[in-house]
Structure 1
C-alpha cells in the first residue's frame, strides 16, 4: 500500500485563459504573425534572430511611450504624425519657452535637441533581412551594370558579374561591432585569417599611383569634411593596398573625378585599359578625358567582379572594407550620373547602402570610426538626393547624446542629422493639415535654434568683410572648414523649413520669416564667397546650400550674384550637372 506524502500538496499555479493571458498585445510584428512567443528584445528579438527573419515593431501595438522612444535604426516603424521627444530617458526639468515663427512652443531645458519621428513610411515592408542586405545591394548594382553594358555596347563580359561565382564561405566570424572596446576605434589592419584580403601590399602601376594620389589629395578630404579623424584620407588608402575591392573602387572614383577636370588640369597620359581588361588595345589617340573615362569604367566593373567573388564570405559582408567600398562606389556613381554612359541609378543604390548600414547596425554614433564616418558620408549624399527628389531621407536612426554633451566636432555632425529631418519635413508637405504642419515646422526651427545657441566660440567668424560695391555678399571666414560647413548647413535647414511651412498670415510673422531668410542667404553666400577656389572639399556643401539660398532671393541683382556663385561652385565640384543653374532661373521666372 503506497505511503501518503507527509508534506502538504503543492498548490498548482492557475493557468491563464486563452482569451486573456496567453495572447499578448506586445511583441514584434513577425512573432505576432507567426503566433509564437516573443521575448521583445530590441533591435531584434530572439525568435527572429534564431529564424533569420526580419524583425520590426509597429506603433499600433506600442503601449509604452518610453519603449517607442528607444527604438533605433534596426527597428523601423510607421507613424502618421511626427512627434517631438526629449533625447534623454530621464525626467527633465520644467520646460522653457523660445520664440518661434508661428508662436511659442515648449522645449526641454535639459534636452535641447528634439527627436523627430519622421522615418520613411515605405521601408518597413520592403526591408531585406540583415543577412541578405549585401546581396540585395549587389543585385541592384549588377542588374543596372548589365543593362548599362548592353545599352552602350561597352564590351564587358556580363557573366562575371554573377555573385554565384563566390567560393565556399569560411566559418562565420564574430561581428566586428562586438570587437570595438575603445571609443574612436579604428578598423584593424588586414590579417591572414581574412581570405578576401591580401596579406602582401598590392603593387600599383604608374597610372594607379596618379589616381591614388588624386584620391588622397582631393576626394578623401571631401568625404572627410566633417570627420576630424579623416578616415577616408588616412585609413581607407591603407585598406585599399590590402583589399582589391576597396582599391578598385578608389581608383574608379578618382579616375571619374579626374575625367571631369581633364580640361582644366595639366595634360596627362593614361592607358586606355587596365591589365586584364576586356577592352582591347590602348587607344593612344584618345584624349585624356576619354582615357580616364575608360579607366574609370573598367575599375568600376572590376569592383563589381570582386564583390561577386567575395560576398559569400560572412566576415566580408560584416567588414569595414565592404562599407568603404560601398561609399566609394556611391561617390563614383554620383559623378558618373552626369556622364554619357552613366547608369543614372545612383539615387536607387543609396537605398542599398542603407540596407548594408542597417545590417551592420552602423549609425552616426558607432564606436568603430570607419563605420561612423561612412554613415555620415552616406547621409550627406542622401540629403542632397532627398532634397532634389522631394522625398524623405532614408535613415531612421536617432541620436542618443544630448547637445550639451557633444564636442564641437560632434556638434558639426549633429546639424547634418537635423538637416536630414528638415528635408523630411519638406517631403511631407501635403500629408498633414495646416496646424499640424505649423507645429512640426516650429519644432524643427526650435531644434535648429537650440543647436545654434550651444555653439562654442570656435564656430564664430574669424573675419567678416563689409559689403563692397563689387560684391553682393560680404565674405565670411570660419575656420576650420567643417565648422563653416556646419553653419551653412544650419542655414540651409532653416531655409528648407521656412519655405515649406504654412503661415496663418499677419505682418509680424511675415517680417520675421523674411528676416530669417535674408540672414540665412547672407551667411551661406558669404561663407561660399570666402571658399572660392581655396577649399575644394567645402565646395560640395557650398553648392547645395547656395542652391537652396537661391530660392529666397528676389532682386535681380542678388539673383545674378547667386547664379555666379553657384556657377563657380559647379566649376569646382563638377557635380551636379550645370542644368542646376537653369532650374534655379526657371524657379525665379515662375515666382514673378
Structure 2
C-alpha cells in the first residue's frame, strides 16, 4: 500500500535572493512583471489602482488552446511609459516593427492605449440634449443674417423668414415647389422615399451643373482625403439630386470655394440668373459675384431647413447630417484666421449636437454617417488646435489597433491626433508629473500606431540627400490617404513633444530634438511632392507644415518652411495667409 503523499518529504526549492525580488506566479501581468504582491481583484487589482498602472490579466486557455472570452481585462488608464520608451520610435515602420518587445506586442494585442484615454472631453454641462437640432437652425439663421452686412450683399431675401423656424406644414403658394412635401396621393408611389425627399431627380441648370461638377471633382476628394470609400464624393451627390437641402448646401460650398480660387475657366457661370448685379467683363468683380451666388444658395438651404427641420424623421436622417457638414465646410472656406466664437466654431458645435442626437460616431455601420463624422472631427481638430481648446468629441473607439485595416489606420491616427490636441489645449490644470505621464501615454499611442503600419505606408520615392540649394529631400507616399496619415502622425507627435514637460536632463532633450528633426524633415519632404494642383494632399500638408514651423529654430529652415507653407496655401486657399504672419510672429517672440 503506498504511503500517503503527506508523509513524503519534498525537496525545498531555493528561495530567490532579495536583490532579485520574489517572482509572482499568480496575479495580473503588471504585478508579475514588477514582482510585487497582487490581490488578483478584477478588473483592476489594488496594487495597480494605487500606483495608477494598467492592470492586465493573461487570457485563460481552454482545452482547445484558445483564449476564453473572459480571460483578460484592462483598467481605465494605461501605464505611463518612461521618457525613453515613450520617445523611441523609427521613421521606418518596417524597422520599428522589429524593435517591438514581446511585452509590448502582448500589450497591444490585449488593448490599445488610446482606447483608455479619459472621456468625455467636453464639460458635462455643455453636452446638449437630444432635442438640440432646432437650435442649430437658429445658429444658421443668425449667422446668415450677419453675413449680409459682412459682405455688403444686395440679395432679394426676406430676413424675417430666416429668424424663426416655420411650421412643418408649408404653404404651397409661398414656396418653391421643390421644397414641398409630397401630397398624400403621391405617397404610395414613393413609399421608399421620405416625405422630405423628391422621388425624381431634381433638375439642374447649366450653371448648377458647373458647380455640381466642381464639388465632385475638387471638394469631395478634399473631404474624402482619409476615406478611401469616397462616401462624400460618390454617395452624397446621390442624396443631393433627391434632397433640396443637400443640393443647395452642396452648390453653396462649391460656389464659395470657386470664389476663393478665382480661376479664369470658372468665368463661364451665368450669374444673371441669381439676381447678381455685376459686370461680367470686370475680372476683378468675379470673386464677389460668385460669393453672392454662394450666399444665395446658403439662404435657400435655410429656407428648406425651416420647412422640414421639425419633421422627426428628417432630424434623424442622413440628409440633415450631410447638409450640416456641407454648411460647416462653407463656413470653413468663409472663415477668417481667428475662429473663436465665429460662425465656423459655432457650426462645428451645432454638428456636435446633431451627431449626438443621432448617436453617430466614427464606427457607425452606415458608411456615409461614418464618413460625415470623420469629416466633422477633422475640421474640429484644426479649430481646436488654433483656439487652444479641446476637441468636441466625447466618443472613444472600441477596435484595437491590431484589428484595424490599413484604411482604418488612416482614420485612427486622426482620433489620436485629437487626443494630442486636447493635451496641448490651454487647460493645463494638472501638475508637472501628471502632464509628463499623460504625454508619455500619448507618445506610446503614437508609437504603437506607427509600429502597426504595413509596408504599404512606406515611401515609393525618397531621395536620400537634399538637392543642392534645398534643405529637405522630397518624399512620395501613395495613395494620398497614406501620405495624409503620416503627416497627421508627425503633426500630432510635434504637438505632444513641444507641450510635454521634461525632467530627463540633457539626454532627454537630445532625444526629443532628434525626433522633432525627423518629423520636420518628413513633413517638409512630403509637402514638396504636392506643389502642383494636389488639393487633397495640400489640406493635410498645411497643418503639418505649421506645426513643423513651431519647433524649428534654424533661420534657414524657418525660411524654407515659410516658403513651403506659402506655396501650399496658394493651393488650398485656406486658411488665409495670415497664418504665415502668425508663424513669423511666433519666431520673433522666441528670440
Q: Distance in 1 between matches of 2:394 and 2:322?
A: 21
Kindly report which structure 2 residues correspond to 1:165-244, keeping only aligned pairs within 5 A, or say none. Answer: 165-168=166-169, 193-244=193-244
Q: Is the 8 A contact 1:198 1:243 kept in 2?
A: yes
Alignment of 1:458-497 (within 5 A): 458-465=456-463, 466-497=465-496
Shift of 1:191: 5.8
Q: Normalising to structure 2: TM-score of the pair?
A: 0.77
Query: Shift of residue 491 of structure 1?
Result: 0.7
Q: Give the corresponding residue for 1:71.
A: none
Q: Is the 1:350–1:382 Cα contact (8 Å) retained in structure 2?
A: yes
1: CA distance between counterparts of 2:53 and 2:137? 35
Residues 422/362 of structure 1: CA separation in 2 closer, same or farther (3 Å cut):
same
Distance 2:70 2:476 in 1: 39
Give the one of 398, 401, 416 matched to 1:400.
398
Q: Aligned with 1:165: secondary structure?
A: coil
Matched, 1:438 2:436: yes
Secondary structure at the aligned position of 2:470 is classed as: coil
Change over 3 Å in CA distance of 1:150–1:526 after alignment to 2: closer
Deviation at 1:590, TM superposition (A): 1.1
Please name the residue that 2:34 is paired with. none
Aligned to 2:529: 530
User: Matches of 1:285 and 1:468 in 2, distance apart?
Assistant: 45
Contact in 2 for aligned 1:221/1:537 (Cα 8 Å): yes
Compute the displacement of 1:113 (Å).
3.6
Alignment of 1:426-575 (within 5 A): 426-427=424-425, 430-465=428-463, 466-575=465-574
Q: CA deviation at 1:120?
A: 5.7
Q: Which runs of 5+ in 2 are unaligned?
A: 1-40, 45-51, 57-68, 89-102, 171-189
Relative to 1, partners in 2 of residues 1:506 and 1:343: Cα closer, same or farther, differing over 3 Å? closer
Give the equivalent residue in structure 2 for 1:313: 311
| Whole-angstrom CA distance in 1 between matches of 2:140 and 2:163 | 11
Residues 245 and 343 of structure 1: is their aligned pair in 2 closer, same or farther, counting only changes over 3 Å? farther
TM-score, scaled to structure 1: 0.77
Quote the residue 2:580 is aligned against: 581
Q: Secondary structure at the match of 1:235?
A: helix
| Structure 1 residues 296 and 112: alpha-carbon distance in aligned structure 2, compared to 1, 3 A threshold | same
CA distance in 2, matches of 1:372, 1:588: 39
The CA RMSD measured in Å over matched residues stands at: 3.0
Q: Which moved more, 1:443-452 or 1:535-544?
A: 535-544
Give the match for residue 175 of structure 1: none
Supply the distance in 2 between the matched residues of 1:230 and 1:65 (Cα, whole angstroms).
43
Secondary structure in 2 matching 1:401: coil
SS at the partner of 2:402?
helix
- CA separation of 1:283/1:118 partners in 2, compared to 1, >3 Å: closer, same or farther? farther
Q: Specify the structure having the higher radius of gyration (Cα).
A: 2
2:124 is paired with a residue whose SS is coil
Q: Which residue of 1 aligns with 2:160?
A: 159
Residues of 1 paired with 2:517 and 2:583: CA distance?
A: 17
In structure 1, the residue matched to 2:181 is: none
The aligned residue for residue 91 of structure 1 is 72
Contact 1:425 1:441 in 2 (8 A): yes
User: Structure 2 matches for 1:249-398, cutoff 5 A?
Assistant: 249-262=249-262, 264-266=263-265, 268-272=267-271, 274=273, 279=275, 284=280, 287-338=285-336, 344-398=342-396
Summarize the Cα distance change of 1:343–1:397 in structure 2 as closer, same or farther, 3 Å threshold: closer
Residue matched to 1:590: 589
**CA offsets 1:53-89 (integer angstroms, 9 cap, x no match):** xxxxxxxxxxx9979xxxxxxxxxxxxxx99798x98
Distance 2:309 2:482 in 1: 38
Q: CA deviation at 1:469?
A: 1.0
Q: Summarize the Cα distance change of 1:65–1:471 in structure 2 as closer, same or farther, 3 Å threshold.
A: farther
Take 1:116 and 1:92, find their aligned partners in 2: how far apart are those partners? 12
> Against the structure 1 CA distance between its residues 90 and 291, is the aligned structure 2 distance closer, same or farther, given a 3 Å change threshold?
farther
C-alpha contact 2:168 2:309 (8 A) present in aligned 1 = no
Q: CA deviation at 1:505?
A: 4.4
More helix per residue: 1 or 2? 2
Q: Give CA deviations for 1:448-496 in whole Å, capped at 9, x if unaligned.
A: 0000001100101111012111321111111111011101111110000
**How big is each residue's C-alpha offset from its partner over 1:212-242, in whole Å with a ceiling of 9 and x where there is no partner?**
1110000000001111110111111111111
- How far is 1:552 from its partner? 1.1
How big is the shift at 1:158? 1.2
1:415 and 2:438 equivalent?
A: no
Looking at structure 2, the residues matched to 96 and 321 of structure 1 have their Cα atoms a distance apart, in angstroms, of 43
What secondary structure, in the 3-state scheme, does the structure 2 residue paired with 1:266 have?
A: helix
Structure 1 alignment gaps of length 5 or more: 1-63, 68-81, 170-189
Does the CA contact (< 8 Å) of 1:92 and 1:109 recur in 2?
Answer: no
Q: How far off its partner does 1:270 sit? A: 2.6
